[in-house]
Amino acid sequence: MQASFHFYDYQSLAVASMTLQLTLSFSLCHVSGVSLNMAHKLVQVTLCLWVFTSLLLPSPTAGLYRVSLKKQRLNLNRFKAARIAMSGWGMLHNYGSSDGEVIPLKNYMDAQYYGVIAIGSPPQNFTVLFDTGSSNLWVPSSKCYFSIACYFHSKYKSSRSNTYTKIGKPCEINYGSGSISGFFSQDNVEVGGVVVRDQVFVEATREGSFPTFVLAKFDGILGLGFQEISVGNATPVWYNMLNQDVVREDVFSFWLNRDPSANEGGELVFGGVDPKHYKGKHTYVSVTRKGYWQFDMGDFLIGNNSTGVCEGGCAAIVDSGTSLLAGPTAVVTEINHAIGAEGVVSAECKEVVSQYGDLIWQLLVSGVQPDKVCTQIGLCVLNGTRYMSSGIKTVVEKENMEELSAGDQLLCTTCQMTVFWIQSQLKQKGTKDTVLNYVNELCQSLPSPMGESVIDCARISLMPDITFIIGDKPFKLTPDQYIVKMGEGLTTVCVSGFMALDVSPPRGPLWILGDVFMGVYHTVFDYGNLEIGFAEAA
């Protein structure tokens, strides 16, 4: 990986100091060596060279700026609220418009990691969520009078800052779980000990009443995504850090501490990586679409078995703004079945299997393409024309989908999931009866978007590993890593860390890799080379 370096003015002092130390060290070595015999001189020269080299070479952590992250533990009520909010993802058809006025549906109810920044002169402190899935900085404004959330958080007071510049342009940021609105302002922002001058940010004067912002431990959000999804095309904080040459490399990295008993929640490092935060080497993949930190992921395995959904590749987003893992409903259902998660029994799903299971099997065995099966049996019909619609693949435009009744959409989607499951089992050469029984069991494991999927904590050791193929290398999550535990002792509740998320092609199928993944794998965001790197976290 090629790294670009930025040299800044204040380094001249360090260089002058280093030059003075080198001169003194070399002089002392030279003088003290005069009276020594040859053997001693060789030892002295070796020592002098070591001192010279150690002073010349910078520390691997020099020039890094750190933000200490705090962590809050999830509880069951917050987790339920998170799932309700996340159900809005399924409604998404456009992952952020090109004009930057809408960012994707986001959910912060389950966010765990946050840190402190300061805005203004003298500095006003705010706790913010560092979010790689959005690009704006916003904090509550002192002019926020009618939102309950503002009364529970610190508010920015422009009148108390000597470096404030008024902009006043109104804006609104929409999330799946609510929205915030306010106006743009400009001031200095301190992040990890570095002052970013003249940063444009949003003073929020209204925050949605949804408990996302009311109960959140953080005051605002600092986006670390690309400017392409920045509302109002505001320059992100990270961009200004680069433009003002305050970091050594065009890189930032996350280390999240997954130890629930640890005081330290983790660390966000600007300007490079800390070798103490990871083991081995990073595997790098290219960013495929600027906006989010998005890349192409390979296959997805439950135990040692491929699910088949990502054999041709899936888009994936690394998102520090959520603690969970989200993926296609059909795959999450298989995961829930494999780990024994209790879902909502779907009568529609069982009806499709009961009435059409044999026919679907025969059509697939006879060679009919999977994306044609449900149109041939008549479960996907729109105004007399055939179409395909599912949580895995959807090629119908939004306006056409609105013409369908909810029941028709559900049957069509269920049919397509059934086709996917049967096709997956056919590849494993299962018998018809065995496959249909398995699919019928999957119906009982369909995830409920409005509630938690509870796991028997005593069965965690019996659950399969889950593996993501990234850059042709396996990245495994053990049950202890993907099961979310809440509470302690007898009150401990275990729930699945996987959420259902169905996104239409060409953007989908899509995976969201949140803190559950980032806690296991140290993550590097390389803006200079447009790459993302993963290595085992220390």
What is the C-alpha separation between 298 and 311, in angstroms, rounded? 6
In total, the chain counts a number of residues equal to: 538
Distance CA 123, CA 118 (A): 5
Q: Where does residue 50 rank: exposed (0-12), middle (13-18), buried (19+ CB within 10 A)? A: exposed
Active-site annotation, residues: 131, 319
The SS3 of residue 20 is helix
Which residues fall within 8 angstroms of residue 347, CB to CB, at 6 or more apart?
none
Cβ-based neighbours of 406, under 8 Å, separated by 6 or more: none
Contact 420, 309 (CB under 8 A): yes
Q: What is the DSSP letter of 234?
A: P
DSSP assignment, residue 209? Answer: S
Q: What is the DSSP string of 341-364?
A: -B----HHHHHHHHHHHHHHHHHH
Q: Which three-class secondary structure state does DSSP give residue 374?
A: helix
If DSSP states are collapsed to H, E and C, what string results for 388-402? CECCCCECCCHHHHC
Spatial distance between the Cα atoms of 136 and 134, rounded to a whole number of angstroms: 6
Distance of CA 496 to the CA centre of its chain: 17
What whole-number distance in Å separates Cα of residue 148 and Cα of residue 349?
Answer: 42
Per DSSP, the three-state class of 84 is helix
In whole angstroms, give the CA distance from residue 128 to residue 108.
Answer: 11
φ, ψ of residue 511 in degrees (nearest 5): -115, 145
The per-residue b/e assignment along 243-266, b for 16 or more CB within 10 angstroms, e otherwise, is: ebebbbbbbbbbbbbbeeeeeebb
The answer to whether the CB of 225 falls within 8 A of the CB of 159 is no
Q: Are the C-beta atoms of 505 and 204 separated by less than 8 Å?
A: no
Q: Which residue has the tokens 């850059």?
A: 471
